[in-house]
Amino acid sequence: MQDTTAHHFTLNTGAQIPAVGLGTWQTGGDVCRAAVKTALEVGYRHIDCAHLYGNEVEVGQALSEALSGGLPGLKREDLFITSKLLFATTAPKRMDAILEVSLKNLKLSYLDLYLVHWPVSAQVGDATDPPYQQGKPTLRIKEAWQAMESLLEKGLVRAIGVSNFNILQLEELLSFAKITPAVNQVELHPFWRQDELVKFCQSRNIHVSAHTPLGVPGSNLRSMQDDASNGEHELLSPSLPIVFTRSPSGHAPLLRMSSVEVISERLNKTSAQVILRWGIQRGTSVLPRSLHPDRIRLNFDILSWSLSEEDWEEINSISPQARLIDSKHSFLSVNGPLQAVAEIEDDEPIGG
């Protein structure tokens, strides 16, 4: 169990990443701006973004408002802003242009962290047209990572990393990388702990950050929505196409089969708080996403208390393990590193 008092974790760059950040997947419009504004007011300093999410403009508006007097005393250096490159979607020489779009949308001059969103690449397509919709993918992750490394030299980003990489893919990347990824952002929660991946990353001084730690959208979770433990599910922002609904307790049936609910009742905390606290004590930063002000506040209220060693170990023993992002859309193949994107339906989810 890691330091139970941690509010930040130190990256291999020497920079500190906040233990709790706000996820912005599947939000947009006024509700996105309001969520980011609430999070900053509550005390969040890490906002996790991606070009794929289609909401960097709204996030940028909220950041700009906060930095221009909306939150007196708040400075850019107080914030930790992450964004992601959708796959390696273009020739590396175009990566600067893609990053500049994100910086312009976010109204920033640099990012604290820039991630390769998925461990795949494509010869065609751009940041708004996923490659699986335009042409046959090809493996160009080496060239893409070299281009990512060059962004550091230009001062456009302070750290680079990856997202949704497994051990095989990380080993392949490390075989040619001059700069070790600072972060690997992956799906992590008590019901999909990925113990070996976390251990591998920590042994290589790669910080692990947990995306979608409280449940994910997807057709395979729709039947669970009526069982939501907190009484309601969150819809996508009305400004985005309604393709999925998101259940914040998509793992609700698992909660009732686990010790999480018992622990949360005994500690007078929500199950979400217990799960997020477990993640921090594991040494991983967590990125819960919510549009509801009360939940945004509760999800941040996990830094002044801790789980006992007994409770923490109890959560570590939960079984069975169940991945909530459908693996057929995750592009993480056990057959080898750096797999190409398979053909998938345009209206299917591709994960967080």
Q: Are 251 and 323 in contact (CB under 8 A)?
A: no
Q: What is the DSSP letter of 237?
A: P
CA 92, 93, 99, 105 torsion-angle sign: negative
Q: Where do we find the tokens 């395979």?
A: 220
Among this protein's residues, is 110 annotated catalytic? Answer: no
113 DSSP β-pair partners: 82
What Rg, from alpha-carbon coordinates, does the chain have? 19
**How far apart (Å, rounded) are the C-alpha atoms in residues 249 and 256?**
11
211 has binding-site annotation: no
Selecting among 53, 110, 114, 132, the annotated active-site residue is 53
Chain Cα centroid distance, residue 247: 17
Q: Are 98 and 105 in contact (CB under 8 A)?
A: no
Q: What is the DSSP letter of 236?
A: P
Q: List, by residue number, the catalytic residues.
A: 53
Annotated binding site for substrate: 117
Binding-site residue ranges: 117
